[in-house]
Structure 1
Amino acid sequence: MLTCDALSFHYDRCEPGQTPDFCFDFSLAPGLCLAIDGPSGAGKSTLLNLLAGFLAPSGGRLRWDGHDLIGLPPWDRAITTLFQDHNLFDHLPVWANVGLGLAADLRLTDAQRRAIETGLGEVGLAGFTERLPSELSGGQRQRVALLRALLRETRLLLLDEPFTGLDRANREALWALVRRQQTRGVAVVLISHDREDVEALADRRLRLAEGRLVAV
């Protein structure tokens, strides 16, 4: 169970129209998907960064199964984050970009290599193992990044607009992969403005307004 209790953050400086103060309260059980939306500047990225450990909160508590996450660096949290910018390494082929999610030194087992090949087939990228990110379309790069996130054995997935720019067939294939992770007990926080994505995956919906989460 992920528990976010009065988790707060303050921006000393922010752009006009953006919210400077945030306070988040929610809980999320294993295997469920929580969808969060809100206008630009409402705090969606702030929330993900606090959960992932890229920002330090000014107060409150953040726990997984009763264990305190605050103070743990991102690499020590059982959390995988996929932001909108894909975060692929331009000099590495597709298989290596995906494989970094399984082994940081890319010393992959035969089972991990098979999982990568199978996963690439499931997201419509069979035969793309040796291509570089520069040889891929934006939608293809997004699928590579999402596959890397999904193959990691973490307990919480943070997805920021993960299906943007994908056609319906590819989105449905990726929905199925996310749901498969949920059956393993993986909890998902989904940031999305797309109604179809939310309806396909979300068990609960919350909206950010004036730095707070409100029920939809």
Structure 2
Amino acid sequence: MLEVKNVVFAYPDQNTPWNFHFSVEPGQCIAIHGASGSGKSTLMNLLAGFLQPKSGDILWQGKSIRNHAPWQRPMTSVFQEHNLFEHLSVETNIGLGIHPGLKLTQEDRQAIERGLQKVGLGEFGMRLPGDLSGGQRQRVALLRAILRQQPLLLLDEPLTGLDSDAGDILRQLLLEQKANGTLMVLASHDKEDRRILADSACNL
């Protein structure tokens, strides 16, 4: 279970701090909903460890991860910026998500190949991110996150820029991850994404 217990945060020029409080079970998805500036991306950065709260706690399976570095947390993130390495191929970008030293097994390489086929990018493995559209880059980023096989997945507008067919493919992929026990925190303006993927909501 992920527990966010009265996590308080404010930027230096912010008069009223945010206070986040909710919990989610494995295999469930909570939708974080609110207007622009309501704190959705800030919450994602707090969960990922890129920001530190003023007070409160973040627990995973009953143990605090508040002071853990981002790479020590049992989660992976898909943010709006894709965060792909521009000078590396699609396959290498995904491989780095699986193993930072690219010490990939044959099974890992096969998983990358199958995953690219599944998201409609089977012929794109050797291309550079700059050769892809925004929607294609987002598919690569989401596939990389899923293949890391972390129990918690943070999704900040994960299907932005995708056409309806690609969106349907990735929603199905995320539903499969939920069925396998992955816990998801979803920030999305898209009502359809929230309707299909979320089991509960946290309105900011």
TM-score, normalised by the number of residues in structure 2? 0.97
In structure 1, the partner of 2:23 is 27
Give the Å deviation of 1:20: 4.0
Hey, what does 2:98 align to over in structure 1?
A: 102
Q: 1:114 aligns to what? A: 110
Distance of 2:19 and 2:201 partners within structure 1: 17
Pick the aligned partner of 1:194 from 175, 190, 198.
190
**Counterpart-to-counterpart distance in 2, 1:45 and 1:137:** 23
Q: State the distance in 1 between where 2:151 and 2:16 align.
A: 30
**Partner letter of residue 202 of structure 2?**
L
What is the DSSP-based 3-state SS (H/G/I as helix, E as strand, rest coil) of the residue aligned with 2:56?
A: strand
Distance in 2, matches of 1:68 and 1:24, equals: 15
Which sections of structure 2, spanning at least 5 residues, go unmatched? none
Corresponding position of 1:89: 85
What is the aligned counterpart of 2:200 among 204, 209, 212?
204
* 1:166 counterpart = 2:162: yes
Residue 41 of structure 1 is aligned with which of 18, 37, 40?
37
Q: For residues 61 and 160 of structure 1, what CA distance do their matches in structure 2 show?
A: 21
Instruction: Show structure 1 runs of 4+ deviating over 4 A.
Output: none
Name the TM-score, length of structure 1 as normaliser. Answer: 0.92
The letter of the residue matching 1:63 is L
Aligned to 1:9: 9
Report the alpha carbon displacement of residue 184 of structure 1 after superposing the two structures with TM.
Answer: 1.8
Code of the aligned partner of 2:6: A
From 130, 135, 139, give the equivalent of 1:134: 130
The count of aligned residue pairs is 204
Q: Over aligned residue pairs, what C-alpha RMSD do you find?
A: 1.0
Letter in 2 for 1:6: N
1:88–1:133: 8 Å Cα contact kept in structure 2?
Answer: yes
Verify the 8 A CA contact 1:93 1:131 in the aligned structure 2. Answer: yes
SS at match of 2:66: coil
Paired letter, 1:13: D
Do structure 1's residue 57 and structure 2's residue 49 form an aligned pair? no
Equivalent in 143, 148, 151 of residue 147 of structure 1: 143
* Residue segments in structure 1 that go unaligned for 5+ positions in a row: 209-216
Structure 2 residue matching 1:54: 3-state secondary structure:
coil
How far apart are the structure 2 equivalents of 1:101 and 1:31?
Answer: 22
**Contact between 1:182 and 1:188, CA under 8 Å: does it hold in 2?**
yes
Contact 1:13 1:20 in 2 (8 A): no
Counterpart AA for 1:182: K
TM-superposed CA distance for 1:127, in Å, is 1.0
What is the alpha-carbon distance in structure 2 between the residues aligned to residue 204 and residue 79 of structure 1?
A: 19
8 Å contact from structure 2 (residues 22, 202) kept in 1: no
Q: Say if 1:11 and 1:20, in contact at 8 Å, map to a contact too.
A: no
- Aligned-residue sequence identity (percent) comes to 52
Q: Distance in 1 between matches of 2:129 and 2:3?
A: 37
Which digits, 9 at most, give the CA deviation of each residue in 1:75-134, with x for residues without a partner? 000010111000000000000011111010112110000000100011110111100011
